[in-house]
Amino acid sequence: MSVLIGRNTRVVVQGITGRDGSFHTRGMLDYGTKVVAGVTPGKGGERVHSVPVFDSVQDAVSKTGANCSVIYVPAALAQDAVYEATDAGVPLVVCISEGIPVRDMVEVSAYLQGRPTRLVGPNCPGLISPGQSKVGIMPGSIVKPGKVGVVSRSGTLTYEVVWQLTRAGLGQSTCIGIGGDPIVGTRFADMLALYEQDPATSAIVLIGEIGGSDEEDAALLIRRSISKPVVAFVAGQTAPPGKRMGHAGAIVSGGSGTAQEKMARFQEAGIPVAKTPSEIPGLIAAALRTKRKSKLTLLRSKRKAKPKRRVAPSGRKPRTKTKRAARAKTVRRRGR
């Protein structure tokens, strides 16, 4: 199991004949992703890396059964591409394109309300479920199958953390970059809820950065309804206020959205915050150990009928399965 994408994901690439679209289609195919179609208006009938190209997403979906779209079109055309995939009924749309005007995303956000399509991105590296499927541009060479879910607003910082996890022997269930723009389709809270429900995910790494209040919302959600251990990291402690740090959404405005504020919210929620990226694998390993230990201790104490010796896992109260299930139910998706 994994989150959002897996072995049954069938991908249609919007903008497949472009430089980026073609390059990353090759990458996805090499990783083993089922890329079943491409779309470039006016180039229907062509093939790219032997993937059939269609004139419209509707065509591609009806002829190939694609259930996920990945968008590599230029920013000016991205809004239309998202609309096209949504109207074709594609349940998961991953928009890699960078530089989309905020107004376009405000309109997309309003359009997606109440529709079944989930958008990931824009301005994101996409997602990868190691050993199963990759949709987007994440390098397949740095991941390893396992049970850590990774969610991040960044690209190369995500790779950095994933690579460090992999080298520490900590594989991943699904890694996702949700995008660096002020408005993105899928937020931290959405991903946390999905990881919570995924049996293959045992711990979560959340990589935030300055700007907005998504991290603060995530901290609140974790406190209320996430039972799996989460380790957080927030980039941009040294960022000056009022300056955009590369990502359109990475800006401290009017004194809000600072790294310090976000880190404090996580700490208040009892979530370990890594001070440097290299601390993350250790914190995750510790979280997984504690979890396993508490289970083992529970088993042992049941056998010996000595509940007094039960060791409570540090920081988190032991929860019964029914309670956890009840909590998971309270996790609400953002009406998408």
Partner 1 sequence: MNLHEYQSKELFRAAGIPVPPGDVASSVEEAVSAAARFSYPVVVKAQVLIGGRGKAGGVKVVRTPEELKREAGRIIGMDIRGLKVHRVLITPSADIDREYYAGMVLDRKNETPLLMVSPAGGIDIEEVARTSPEKILRIPIDLRGLPAYRARAAARFLDKSPAIQKQIVPILIRLARVYRDQDASLAEINPLVVTKAGEVLALDAKIVLDDNALDRHPDLASWRDLTAEDPGEVEARERGLSYVKLDGSIGCVVNGAGLAMATMDLIQYHGGRPANFLDIGGSSNPEKVESAMNILTGDSRVRAVLFNIFGGITRCDDVARGLLTALDRLNVRIPIVIRLTGTNEKEARELLGKKGIMALSDMDEAVRAVIARAAEAA
Which residues are at the interface with partner 1 (CB under 8 A)?
A: 27, 75-76, 99-103, 105-107, 109-110, 137-139, 141-142, 152-160, 163, 180, 182-183, 207, 209-214, 217, 233, 235-240, 242-250, 254-256, 259, 275-278
Which CB, 179 or 313, lies closer to partner 1?
Answer: 179
Minimum Å gap between C-beta 107 and partner 1 is: 7
Which CB, 13 or 60, lies closer to partner 1?
Answer: 13
DSSP class of residue 142? G
CB 59, CB 44: distance < 8 Å: yes
CB 94, CB 135: distance < 8 Å: yes
Whole-angstrom distance, CA of residue 132 vs CA of residue 134 = 7
Which CB, 197 or 213, lies closer to partner 1?
Answer: 213
CA distances to 86, 107, 187, 278, 326 from 272, in Å: 38, 37, 20, 14, 24
On the CB side of 61, CA atoms within 13 Å amount to 18
- Return the number of other C-beta atoms located less than 10 Å from residue 271's C-beta: 23
Minimum Å gap between C-beta 126 and partner 1 is: 12
CB 117, CB 93: distance < 8 Å: yes
Which CB, 75 or 286, lies closer to partner 1?
Answer: 75
Which CB, 157 or 298, lies closer to partner 1?
Answer: 157
Q: Which residue has the tokens 């206020």?
A: 241
Which CB, 24 or 228, lies closer to partner 1?
Answer: 24
Which residue in the list 24, 228, 247, 265 is annotated as catalytic? 247
Q: Is 247 a catalytic residue?
A: yes
Quick one: 213 exposed, middle or buried, by C-beta within 10 A (0-12, 13-18, 19+)?
middle
CB 36, CB 10: distance < 8 Å: yes
Could you tell me the strand order of the sheet in which 51-54 lies? 47-48, 51-54, 34-39, 10-14, 68-71, 92-95, 118-120
Minimum Å gap between C-beta 118 and partner 1 is: 15
Minimum Å gap between C-beta 248 and partner 1 is: 6
Minimum Å gap between C-beta 210 and partner 1 is: 7
DSSP class of residue 257? S
Whole-angstrom distance, CA of residue 303 vs CA of residue 246 = 56
Which CB, 61 or 105, lies closer to partner 1?
Answer: 105
Those residues with Cβ within 8 angstroms of residue 23's Cβ, 6 or more apart along the chain or in another chain: none
Minimum Å gap between C-beta 245 and partner 1 is: 5
Please identify every residue annotated as catalytic: 247
